[in-house]
Structures are given as structure tokens and as C-alpha cells.
Amino acid sequence: MTPHRMGRRKALAVALGGLLPAACAEGGRPEVKPSAPNATPDPKLRDEERTTLLLEMHKLIEMAADQAVRRISGREPVGTLTYPYGGRLAAAETAALGQVAATPEAVRALRRVVADAVAGPVYDLLAMIDGAREPEGWEVPWRPFEVKAATVGSPPGVLHTAFRETYQEWQRLRPDPGWSLEGGEKKAAQ
């Protein structure tokens, strides 16, 4: 059964870690004012933490774009790929990258195109967390999530692990565009 077909809470309960549907916040730990006896801090992400998280995402997008361009232009070996996890380029693919012109203009253009390609999914993820966008094919109303700090002693969020673990399911469910990130093109890309 896919996450689209099973209950939302069941599908996301373990993977979300520090994320909870905003509508479920009332059912969780009540907010306690700091002046109250035995007060615990509000578990919501503070403005400073949210800003730091988003600034880090911008930095990581730029770093990824720059590294991709260095790899494309042959100034840095590609090595093992992060996505799909553990993937590698075939020798012919690596050789083809060496043929890409690395003029200053091409480097700037590639950096911008790669940054845009990375930022798009990050923006869409944040829009889904905010409830401003819903996943394609989702059959029930999509609600926003609230990013919260984990409580002491709670297990850490495992979204980064779940991301890697769901790759094979994505490969099974995705429409066939005629190409694959795992190599071995199925048919000529259109």
C-alpha cells in the first residue's frame, strides 16, 4: 500500500520526527507559559531557528550547484552519487562530461540552471509543509505541518533516512519518461 492510500498519520508518524500536522498540535503537549511552575519551552521552531534553517538551505543549494558545475566541467571527479544513493556514472558518461565546454559563461549558466533545479524541489517541499501545495494524487485534504523541536529523550527525526529508503518505491511508481537516473536508458529520451 502506498502512502497515498494509507492514513496520513500512519504513513508519516515515524518519518516526520519533528514535524506534526498543524491541526494535531492541539492534541499534543499543551503550550506552557515560561512563568508557570515546571514550565517546558514551546516546542515550535523559533524564528531564529527557522531563519537559520532556510539560510542553510540557500547555502547548500549554491554549494551543490557549484560542485555540480565543477564535476560537469571535469575540474572535480564525480565519484559516488548522492542521488540515487550510491550510484556511479558509467565510463562513457564520465568521458562525455569532459567534453562540456567550461567557458566562464557556460560555468555561470550551468551553476544557475543547476541551482534552479535543486531549489525547485526544496521550494515545493516547503510549500507542502506549509500546506500551500499538495502532493499529486493525494486523495484527502492536505494540511500544513508544523515544524517543532524534538523533546528531550525523543528519537530524532528520520526524514533523511526515509528519503533514501523510499527511492525504490518512487522508481516503481513514477511514470516512465524513457530515462533513468540509474543509467541504462530504456528508450531515446524525448
pLDDT by residue (tens digit) across 136-160?
Answer: 888 888 899 887 777 777 776 677 7
- CB contact at 8 A, 2 and 173: yes
- CB contact at 8 A, 20 and 28: yes
C-alpha–C-alpha distance, residues 4 and 116, integer Å: 28
Structural domain of residue 103, as residue ranges? 8-169
Residue 186 has a pLDDT of: 56
Cell of 5: 492510500
Statement: the pTM of the whole predicted model exceeds 0.95: no
In a domain, 2, yes or no: no
Give the pLDDT confidence of 61-120 residue by residue, as tens digits: 999 999 999 888 888 899 888 888 888 998 898 888 878 877 888 888 999 999 999 999
In a domain, 177, yes or no: no
In a domain, 43, yes or no: yes
Q: At what angle do helices 104-130 and 47-72 cross, to 10 degrees?
A: 140
Q: Which three-class secondary structure state does DSSP give residue 146?
A: strand
Side-chain-side CA neighbours of residue 69 (13 Å): 23
What amino acid is encoded at 153 in this protein? G
In a domain, 189, yes or no: no
In a domain, 104, yes or no: yes
Distances (CA, A) of 98 to 5, 63, 72, 82, 105: 45, 21, 7, 20, 17
In a domain, 59, yes or no: yes
pLDDT at residue 21 tops 80: no
Question: Grid cell 499529486 — which residue?
Answer: 136
In a domain, 184, yes or no: no
> Count of domains in the chain?
1
In a domain, 123, yes or no: yes
Residue 164 has a pLDDT of: 83
Residue 117 has a pLDDT of: 93
Give the pLDDT confidence of 65-80 residue by residue, as tens digits: 999 998 888 888 998 8
Distances (CA, A) of 121 to 118, 128, 169, 178: 6, 10, 18, 21
